[in-house]
Amino acid sequence: MKVIVTGGAGFIGSAVVRHIIEQTDDYVLVLDSLTYAGNLTSLKDVCDNPRFSFTRTDITDKQAVVEQFTKFQPDIVMHLAAESHVDRSIDGPAEFIQTNIIGTFTLLEAARDFYNKLSDDKQAQFRFHHISTDEVYGDLEGTTDLFTEETPYAPSSPYSASKASSDHLVRAWHRTYGLPVVITNCSNNYGPYHFPEKLIPLTILNALAGKALPIYGNGQQIRDWLYVEDHARALYLVATTAQFGETYNIGGNNERKNIEVVETICSILDKRIINKPNDIKSFSELMSFVKDRPGHDARYAIDASKITKDLNWQPQETFETGIEKTVDWYLANKDWWQSVLDGSYTGESLGLDSQN
């Protein structure tokens, strides 16, 4: 099979690409514009494989996207390209509207043109898989409820509102134009190659540098955490086997308070690092409470029973095993994160002081 992965140079996209190249015989074309979050070194393990190819293409550029579809002739499109960082969406929502809404619209139109020209056999195989977030469902504050596939949308941030819009567009293109789509909504991912503006890599790297570990508000916000390789496996399963028009929630069954996440990382690092920076005895001494994010959702939690029942998917990592693997990956892959921190991967230095 031939699979286009948009956003394949990003955190989850690169895990999906590694999964497909390493675990299947499929061909992959990564379509990515390489924003600050796109990093080709995240694909170093697969980039020499003859089944892998890359194009620097912006999903808002319809002509360029159509050209790539025509040349590559995909059976499956896995759409992960997005602006993904909530704090950035609060500071500057325009790019989120452009990429997440206009970009998804552009891709849907390119996919529709392409699909309509396919033979019946090829049409029967074609799928457009839209990858989205549980943040579209809003906030579960003060309840013990879980998000199901039927939970009404109530996004809080410009990021989640832009992802909710894109989900609606994808469903409409299925219902109105008959485009064979599947949608997944997943909880917070963590693991290797995670850009260090997000909570887990930011905490690890700030700790190693002896810097403050910022925690929003009182740190009581709850997220469900999924190891990125478990997500990649689920995505490929959905893309290749789910019924058209279906939606699946994907989660790790690992609800943790943000403060617990930071404490867990500190205790792993305490065991791994004997000579700690700044004469501290424990990395937890670096924890520092900062002003809360505006509109910050208090709790997200996923009911992933439908994907387990229909497609027999389950996460392989618990939070405890996944977070140890993640910390160890950052300890062993300084070259990767050093080039991100000093900006040499894009030629531009980044001020990395936010999270999640």
289 CB contacts (<8 Å, ≥6 apart)? Answer: 214, 215, 216, 217, 218, 219
Candidates 27, 159, 236, 248; catalytic one: 159
Tell me how far apart the alpha carbons of residues 178 and 112 are, in angstroms, rounded to a whole number: 9
- When binding is defined by CB under 6 A, the residue of 3, 5, 11, 157 that contacts ligand NAD is 11
Contact partners, residue 74, CB within 8 Å, separation at least 6 = 2, 3, 4, 29, 114, 126
Q: With beta carbons less than 8 A apart as the criterion, state whether 77 and 99 touch.
A: no
Q: Is 60 in the site for ligand NAD (CB under 6 A)?
A: yes
- We find the least distance from the C-beta atom of residue 273 to ligand NAD, in angstroms, to be 26
Q: Which of 3, 5, 10, 215 binds ligand NAD (CB under 6 A)?
A: 10
User: Of residues 58, 224, 255, 297, which one binds ligand NAD by CB under 6 A?
Assistant: 58
Is residue 255 annotated as a catalytic residue, yes or no?
no
251 binds ligand NAD (CB under 6 A): no
Residue nearest to ligand NAD according to CB distances in the complex: 10
Site stretch for ligand NAD (CB under 6 A), options 34-42, 107-115, 141-149, 241-249: 34-42
The sign one gets for the Cα dihedral 292, 298, 299, 300 is negative
How far apart are the C-alpha atoms of 270 and 263, rounded to whole Å?
Answer: 10
What tokens does 76 get? Answer: 């499956």
Q: Residue 221, interface with ligand NAD (CB under 6 A)?
A: no
- Of residues 78-117, those binding ligand NAD (CB under 6 A): 80-84, 99, 103
Q: Which helix (H) or strand (E) covers residue 201, if one does?
A: helix 199-208
Query: Catalytic annotation on 36?
Result: no
Closest CA to 26 of 2, 6, 50, 8: 2
Q: How far is the CB of 155 from ligand NAD (least distance, A)?
A: 12
203 binds ligand NAD (CB under 6 A): no
Number of residues this chain uses to bind ligand NAD (CB under 6 A): 31
263 is catalytic: no
- DSSP string for 213-224: EEEETTS--EEE
Residues making contact with ligand NAD (CB under 6 A):
6-7, 9-13, 32-35, 37-38, 58-60, 80-84, 99, 103, 131-133, 163, 186, 188-189, 195
Catalytic center residues = 134-135, 159
